[in-house]
Every structure is written in C-alpha cells, then in structure tokens.
C-alpha cells in the first residue's frame, strides 16, 4: 500500500466553488441566444437565460452579450457561470485504498462522492481529492455518486488505456459472461422485495432494452426503452437473490453490458427498484420530477477480477479485488420476512 497520506476529515463541508466556463460553438444559425442555451442546457428555461444575458454572463466571439439576438453558424460562446455552492461530500481515508502498486490504484469509493465533475459538482469530486495526494492518478471508469465500492485508477496513461479497454470489453457484448473473460465485475444491491416465486440462490436474466424518453427537467432521460424504439440499447444483467427480508432483498448483479443506470433500470424493470431509489419506479420508467443524481439507493461495486500480463495475484492467478459491503447491506436485508 502506498505511504501517501489521505485527508483525515470525514466530510468536506458545503462550500462555494470558483465558478466555471462553459464553451460552445454554434453549429447551425439560431434566431436567439437565449433559445440556443435553453435547448442546449435544458435545466434552465428561456427566461433564466435572458436573465443571464442581462447580467453579462455570456460572451460571443470574445464580446459580452447584454441582450438577446441571433447567432450565426461558427459563433463561439462562453457562459461565465458564477460560483455556486457544492454540497458536502465524503473524504477518502487511508482505509479507502484497496490496492496501490505505484501505478494501479484501486479505491473503495464511499457513497455520496462524485467521481468526476458533473451534476452540479465541480470541485467536490474524487478526482480533486486524488490531485491532492496522488496527482498523477486518474479514474479509469465512473461510478454513480451514490454507488459505493471498487473504483479503478492508474497513474500511467498507458495503464489507463489498457484498463479502460478491459472494462469496456467486459461490457461490450450482450452475452453470458464466461469464467475465462479478462474482466469480471460483480455488484451488490438492495432492492425492494422481489416476487415471491424468486427462490434464494436463483439467478434470473434481465434483458430490458434501455433508451431515452422525454423528461420535463432534462429533455430526455435514460430508462426502460419504449417498445419498438430503433435507438434502444440492448442490455443484459444477471440478478441472483442472496437474501430476502421483510423490507428489502439483497441481490448480486453481474452486468454483461454497460448501459447508463443499467442496474437501477433493470431492478425496476422486474418490479423491484433499488431500495430508496427516488428516480426509477416499477417497470423501469422515471419519475418526472426527479434527476438521475438523486440519491438514497443502495448499490455497491463489490468484486472485480482483472487478468493481464502485469496484473497477478500472489500465486500468479488473475487479480481478484473486493470492497467490503457497507454495514447497511447486512442490516437491511437480514430482517426476516
């Protein structure tokens, strides 16, 4: 394990960041700058963008726009977003390190910590914390903000490219995972009660396609695809029932595809959304007033197998990594039905 010292604090308190510049280039002539932004960033309507124009937050080709007007193809826009307050987030501890060989760095990410800037987070991210004590390390993949567990990082760009290919190839085909594949990812999740005829130890395959549907806050959102949608993404998850409780079931999930919010959507598709998930409802559709970043659900990247010429376990086998389950998993699913 690396001797690098991790911060001691449990949480970073809510704080204002330094603001951010959003750069865009107009592809097709637009009659209105406010209309362009309202379509480009659907989280704010036209009236809000008019206020931002009046405040001088937007520039076109290096000049501040103080009133709405048409845009020409090729115009370069910059939105100077003022500082905003980012919520409190967990801080990584020494115990968060699962493996550190000087290049490969695997962390047990806590729930509530975003990996990369997105969804209102700019500086309160795992990436920012890494820059403080392992400046060359970069995440190889993402986990949702409220998904805990194994997160793979690497310091060398060549290692990141190779590991990214492994993780991508492991979820590239809609096919049953084989024991010999180079990468195997297993998740644990708490769901609402599964159907009574689902026996302990039984594995069921979920192949509900995932596609975009209209959403009043985002314009579109990923959820269970509409039947006949030609743009729907084929997907496959294997859910194994491990424990059944009065309020929750604990399942192991192996994914053979890596679609957006796949586990959350597939659990909802079988009628048992992840416990505490405010977004996806039974059937796999999304609540119209909720955003994907809303938390409360229980999902944990539990085990990861990596195989390659530079990744070997103590006896030469593939590297097998595990992040211990949060205590809430055993507490919630151990209550007898």
pLDDT given at position 2: 43
pLDDT digits (tens, 9 = 90+) for 158-210: 999 988 887 776 555 444 444 445 678 899 999 999 999 999 999 999 999 99
pLDDT given at position 170: 58
Query: pTM, whole model, 2 decimals?
Result: 0.87
Core vs surface per residue 259-282: b (16+ CB within 10 A) or e:
bbbbbbbbbbbbebbbbbbbbbee
User: What DSSP element (H or E) covers 49?
Assistant: helix 46-54
pLDDT digits (tens, 9 = 90+) for 40-91: 987 889 999 999 999 999 999 999 998 999 999 999 999 999 999 999 999 9
**Average pLDDT of 16-44?**
95
Domains of the chain are: 20-82 (3.10.290.10), 90-170 (3.30.2350.10), 187-299 (3.30.2350.10)
Q: Is the pLDDT of residue 308 over 70?
A: no
Look over the chain and give the mean of its residue pLDDT values, rounded to a whole number.
89
pLDDT given at position 333: 55
Angle formed by the axes of helices 46-54 and 33-40, nearest 10°? 130
Q: Which two tokens stand for residue 237?
A: 């998850």
């Amino acid at each position: 394990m690396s001797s690098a010292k991790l911060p001691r604090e449990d949480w970073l308190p809510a704080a204002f960041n330094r603001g951010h510049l959003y750069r865009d280039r107009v592809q097709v002539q637009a009659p209105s700058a406010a209309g362009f932004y309202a379509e480009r960033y659907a989280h704010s309507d036209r009236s809000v963008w008019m206020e931002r124009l009046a405040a001088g937050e937007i520039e076109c080709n290096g000049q501040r726009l103080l009133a709405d007007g048409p845009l020409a193809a090729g115009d370069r826009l910059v939105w100077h977003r003022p500082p905003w307050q980012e919520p409190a987030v967990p801080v990584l501890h020494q115990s968060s390190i699962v493996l550190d060989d000087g290049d490969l760095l695997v962390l047990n990410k806590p729930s509530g910590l975003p990996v990369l800037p997105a969804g209102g987070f700019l500086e309160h991210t795992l990436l920012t914390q890494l820059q403080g004590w392992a400046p060359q390390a970069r995440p190889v993949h993402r986990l949702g903000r409220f998904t805990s567990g194994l997160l793979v990082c690497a310091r060398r760009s060549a290692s990141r490219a190779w590991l990214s290919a492994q993780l991508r190839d492991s979820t590239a085909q809609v096919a049953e995972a084989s024991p010999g594949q180079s990468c195997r990812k297993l998740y644990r999740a708490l769901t609402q009660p599964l159907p009574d005829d689902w026996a302990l130890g039984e594995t069921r395959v979920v192949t509900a396609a995932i596609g975009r549907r209209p959403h009043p806050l985002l314009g579109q959102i990923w959820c269970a695809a509409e039947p006949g949608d030609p743009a729907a993404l084929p997907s496959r998850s294997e859910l194994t029932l491990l424990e059944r409780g009065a309020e929750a079931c604990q399942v192991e999930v192996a994914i053979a595809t890596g679609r957006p919010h796949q586990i959350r959507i597939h659990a909802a598709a079988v009628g048992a959304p992840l416990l505490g998930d405010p977004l996806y409802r039974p059937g796999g559709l999304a609540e119209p007033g909720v955003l994907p970043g809303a938390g409360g659900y229980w999902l944990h990247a539990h085990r990861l197998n990596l195989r390659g010429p530079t990744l070997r376990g103590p006896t030469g086998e593939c590297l097998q990594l595990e992040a211990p389950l949060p205590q809430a998993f055993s507490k919630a699913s151990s209550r007898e039905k």
